[in-house]
Amino acid sequence: MSAAPGLATGKPGAEKPDEEGVVIREEGDMRPDFSQVTSRAAAEQLVKQGRLVRILIFPAEFGGEDVPENQTYVPPAIIEALDMVKCTMSRFIARGLIDWMSVTQAWHGESIVPARITFHCMNKGKGETKDSFTPSVDVW
């Protein structure tokens, strides 16, 4: 099995992937490298192959809209971690611990697949005290 078009695995520029198309970054590290996924068309091709899924950056559960500006792509294995973060945020909202949120992404190179997604949550409240919760999910 070879790597999908637009999907490198392991270190960018590595010369000899194994028979599965995977280059090991560090001992035991088999994470894919999405540095070659630089367009929506390339990402959508990987969606069709089941290697990526399209998600909303600002989750629908918290008012995020399903529009291109709020969409990104992540490997399917990341969904569980994102769901855990959203579940925790839902509990914090229900308890009145957070009342504001923004989401940022970090990238490697020109890839449109985020390397990390960070949720910035806080309770702006009405006083001097400001609680915050800033979970991050490393994507690749």
- Written as tens digits, the pLDDT of the chain (140 aa) is 334 434 333 434 443 444 444 334 566 666 788 989 999 999 999 999 999 999 999 999 999 999 999 999 999 999 999 999 999 999 999 998 899 999 999 999 999 999 999 999 998 875 555 678 899 999 99
Cα-Cα-Cα-Cα dihedral sign, residues 34, 38, 43, 49: negative
CA 17 to chain centre: 24
Tokens 């998600």 belong to 55
Q: Are 99 and 93 in contact (CB under 8 A)?
A: yes
> Structure pTM?
0.76
pLDDT at position 33, please? 86
